[in-house]
A and B are shown apart, each in its own frame.
Chain A
Amino acid sequence: MATVKLTNVKKIYDNNVVAVHDFNLDIADKEFIVFVGPSGCGKSTTLRMVAGLEEITAGTIEIDGKVVNDLQPKDRDIAMVFQNYALYPHLTVYENIAFSLRLKHMKEDEIYNRVTSAAETLGITEYLLRKPRALSGGQRQRVAIGRAMVRDSKVFLMDEPLSNLDAKLRNQMRAEIILLRKKINSTFIYVTHDQTEAMTLGDRIVVMKDGYIMQVGTPTEVFEMPANLFVAEFIGAPKMNILDTTLEKRDGKYYVEAYGAELPIDDDKGAALAEKGIETQEIILGVRPEHIQLSHAGDPHSFRCTIRVNEMMGSEYHIHALTESNQEIIVRTPTMDLTREEREQLEHGNEIYVTFKGKVMHFFDKETQKNLLV
């Protein structure tokens, strides 16, 4: 129902801490945007500025083409779900959800219809007469979402709504939010520090660090083409393997020296590098753990390492190993493809050979840490 536009938005707190630098973002109608980043990166502050709970130091925020900088939260037509739910403890679930409608002096019948239909959607009808303290975490979260839902507002803001829930409930609620989003059909801004939530929920992800936007893109873009080293390491779990090395250009072909092995870069990627005019240079190489394959001693492009820890995750192993050059490397490999003997080999102290292909490599500039191909 609404677009949100942030132009040169800046936030400086009273103690001169700059929380957000020059934030620019266009959010399309009905888009689901996720702000993600480590704590203190300014994601919550930005959200709260959109909500009107923090003053904007500089820049403008527009909702539906209208500058809202000086509007009170109540006049911005937004709904928000808070991390700690912020339910009114003295009111029943029904009254909690109806609170905003009552402030609008809506007719009782209309309130009843809206509250009960929201409760039905969220599966909390039977708790309508309870007080929040008599609810479990997941139920409270649903009430908080219900309270935001009934308002039919232009923008739906969520500030780490799942971080107070246990892992199992979090997964369940995440799926429910995806379903909910289809039903509500409004513009969403969702703040989280959890990259899994960001990847699964967002149409686009805004990765932030220290008040700066690191990258804006679809989950696929952010995952496959991280703009810089920070994004590369932040998105994906376990995190990307990083290595300082040299990218060499010989006879029009590129090679990279990694963990004692020389690995060729296949033509597609080579062409892309050539197009950017990249010559032999010092780089930071990044390879995701899931892109490293188990190999064997005979493979000329493989390198040897010693297993330190092997974490059995169920469907896959996370192997933490030490290369001959004494660097730590994490390999993520599906258990399904391995024979019983192979599995038994993957134990502490054993040696394995691993390799990875040129197409999965990410190259970052050693100085700027920016992706060479972006």
Chain B
Amino acid sequence: MSIEQMKTKSRVKKLVREKQKERRQKQHIGLKTSRIVSNTIIYIILVVIMVVWLVPFFFLLMDSFKCDIAADGETRVTWQSDTIIPKKFGFDNYVDLFTKTKFPRWFINTTLVGLACAVLQTTMILLMSYALSRLRFKGRKFLMNFMLILGMFPGFLSMILLYKLLSDWGLTQDNSIFGLILVYCASSGMGYYISKGFFDTIPRSLDEAARVDGATRAQVFSKVILPLSKPILIYTVLTAFMAPWGDFMFASYIAHTRDVGKNVAVGLRDLISTASGMADHYTWFCAGGVIVAIPITLLFMFLQKYYVEGVTGGAVKG
């Protein structure tokens, strides 16, 4: 190698090194600043959203612990209370809720309706989705589209008709639990969409193999498809349980006078529906709200992994 060549080589080396260094610095700074900026923006947005979401619940929680006594020494001042943090902490509201109102009854009602719906609705949705996913019959496409369009109409359009039907059958007021279960579950087959998407991703040859192996359609479903569908099963149970758990509108018009048939949403709301109720029972209402939130929160904490898998599972892989 001549001296000239060696010189060139070292020059090239130097050039390359400079270029690399330059790029590294540029990238470094660029990355760092842009990352800091974008993260800051993201966190600001997240914090704002979090505050918006949590503040009402925080107020509810604080109000539910308020045991402040008014100037007259008798009534509990709550509604117009000027502080957020209770002056006197206590579980009085919770105790009162369980002893002085029909809350336990409402709670049981809601739980029963929720559980019944979870079982019935899940069964119906999964069977419906499986049938739509696997069987080819006349009118299948039409049925699917029809139900999808029907599902776009808000449910309260049928309110008056449903009320008439249920009251004729004696399923309002005292018997409204059954009325509620009937109405919640009746249209559940229409919620086939997500689970059908999930079943579609399970290869049909599994069904075929099982059928050749001697399984009936029902056995194919219970022994092959269902064990493979845990995420979608949990997702369906969760949604089926949660809808009646939080429902107010429909429950309110079929059971509004008698405590026996109310669910928590209606019961709690009736506590504060009058001006005096609002003044006297507001803290009870808050305590009720906190209690209602507990089961759902727990369910979500333990099952959220499956819930997410269920929602996204249909789109990706079985």
A145 at the binding interface (Cβ < 8 Å): no
How many A-B pairs with Cβ below 8 Å? 57
From B136, B206, B213, B228, contact of A103 by CB (8 A): B213
Please, could you name 22 A-B residue pairs with CB atoms under 8 Å apart, sorted by A? A51-B212, A52-B211, A53-B211, A73-B208, A73-B212, A74-B212, A74-B213, A74-B214, A74-B215, A80-B212, A82-B209, A83-B205, A86-B203, A86-B208, A90-B227, A99-B210, A103-B213, A103-B215, A103-B219, A104-B214, A147-B209, A151-B213
From A14, A51, A103, contact of B214 by CB (8 A): A103
From A14, A74, A104, contact of B216 by CB (8 A): A74
* Minimum Cβ distance to chain A for residue B231 (Å): 13
Q: Which residue of A lies closest to B216 (CB)?
A: A74
CB-defined contacts of A230 to chain B, threshold 8 Å: none
B115 at the binding interface (Cβ < 8 Å): no
Per-residue contact bits, chain A 255-296, to B (CB 8 Å; 1 contact, 0 not):
000000000000000000000000000000000000000000
CB-defined contacts of A52 to chain B, threshold 8 Å: 211-212
The residue among A78, A79, A84, A89 with the most chain B CB atoms within 10 A of its own CB is A89
CB-defined contacts of A99 to chain B, threshold 8 Å: 210, 213, 223
**Is B215 a contact of A86 with CB atoms below 8 Å?**
no
**Is A53 a contact of B228 with CB atoms below 8 Å?**
no
| Besides A52-B211, A88-B206, A99-B223, 8 other A-B contacts (C-beta < 8 A) | A53-B212, A84-B205, A89-B228, A90-B228, A99-B210, A99-B213, A100-B214, A151-B213
Q: Which residue of A lies closest to B209 (CB)?
A: A86
The residue among B203, B213, B216 with the most chain A CB atoms within 10 A of its own CB is B213
**Is A86 a contact of B228 with CB atoms below 8 Å?**
no
* Minimum Cβ distance to chain B for residue A13 (Å): 11
CA distance A78 to B228 in the complex (A): 25
CB-defined contacts of B216 to chain A, threshold 8 Å: 72, 74
**Is A84 a contact of B203 with CB atoms below 8 Å?**
yes
CB-defined contacts of B271 to chain A, threshold 8 Å: none
CA distance A14 to B215 in the complex (A): 26
CB-defined contacts of B260 to chain A, threshold 8 Å: none
CA distance A83 to B209 in the complex (A): 11
CB-defined contacts of B215 to chain A, threshold 8 Å: 74, 103
CB-defined contacts of B311 to chain A, threshold 8 Å: none
**Is A86 a contact of B206 with CB atoms below 8 Å?**
yes
Cβ < 8 Å to A, chain B residues 193-248: 203, 205-206, 208-216, 219, 223-224, 227-228
* Minimum Cβ distance to chain A for residue B218 (Å): 12
CA distance A88 to B224 in the complex (A): 7
**Is A86 a contact of B205 with CB atoms below 8 Å?**
yes
* Minimum Cβ distance to chain B for residue A366 (Å): 44
**Is B211 a contact of A72 with CB atoms below 8 Å?**
yes
The residue among B203, B208, B224 with the most chain A CB atoms within 10 A of its own CB is B208
Check A147/B213 contact, CB under 8 A, given A89-B228, A90-B227.
yes
**Is B213 a contact of A53 with CB atoms below 8 Å?**
no
CB-defined contacts of B213 to chain A, threshold 8 Å: 74, 99-100, 103, 147, 151
Q: Which residue of A lies closest to B224 (CB)?
A: A88
CB-defined contacts of B223 to chain A, threshold 8 Å: 99
The residue among A14, A53, A74, A83 with the most chain B CB atoms within 10 A of its own CB is A74
CB-defined contacts of A147 to chain B, threshold 8 Å: 209, 213
CB-defined contacts of A82 to chain B, threshold 8 Å: 205, 208-209
4 smallest beta-carbon distances between A and B, as pairs:
A100-B213, A86-B209, A86-B205, A74-B214
* Minimum Cβ distance to chain A for residue B317 (Å): 11
CB-defined contacts of A104 to chain B, threshold 8 Å: 214
Q: Which residue of B lies closest to A153 (CB)?
A: B212
* Minimum Cβ distance to chain B for residue A147 (Å): 7
* Minimum Cβ distance to chain B for residue A46 (Å): 15
CB-defined contacts of B136 to chain A, threshold 8 Å: 14
CB-defined contacts of B211 to chain A, threshold 8 Å: 52-53, 72-74
Per-residue contact bits, chain A 53-87, to B (CB 8 Å; 1 contact, 0 not):
10000000000000000001110001110111011
CA distance A79 to B210 in the complex (A): 10
Q: Which residue of A lies closest to B136 (CB)?
A: A14
CB-defined contacts of B208 to chain A, threshold 8 Å: 51, 53, 73, 80, 82, 86
Q: Which residue of A lies closest to B211 (CB)?
A: A73
Per-residue contact bits, chain A 134-155, to B (CB 8 Å; 1 contact, 0 not):
0000000000000100010000
* Minimum Cβ distance to chain B for residue A351 (Å): 50
CA distance A267 to B208 in the complex (A): 56
Q: Which residue of B lies closest to A88 (CB)?
A: B224
Per-residue contact bits, chain A 14-44, to B (CB 8 Å; 1 contact, 0 not):
1000000000000000000000000000000
CA distance A53 to B220 in the complex (A): 14
CB-defined contacts of B214 to chain A, threshold 8 Å: 74, 100, 103-104
CB-defined contacts of B224 to chain A, threshold 8 Å: 88, 90
CA distance A90 to B227 in the complex (A): 7
Q: Which residue of A lies closest to B202 (CB)?
A: A89
Q: Which residue of A lies closest to B138 (CB)?
A: A14
CA distance A74 to B207 in the complex (A): 12
CA distance A100 to B210 in the complex (A): 8
Q: Which residue of A lies closest to B206 (CB)?
A: A86
CA distance A87 to B224 in the complex (A): 10
CA distance A147 to B205 in the complex (A): 14
Cβ < 8 Å to A, chain B residues 24-66: none
CA distance A90 to B203 in the complex (A): 13
The residue among A51, A73, A79, A147 with the most chain B CB atoms within 10 A of its own CB is A73
CA distance A79 to B212 in the complex (A): 6
CA distance A21 to B72 in the complex (A): 97
CA distance A246 to B227 in the complex (A): 67
Q: Which residue of B lies closest to A53 (CB)?
A: B208
CA distance A51 to B209 in the complex (A): 10
CA distance A204 to B205 in the complex (A): 27
**Is B210 a contact of A88 with CB atoms below 8 Å?**
yes
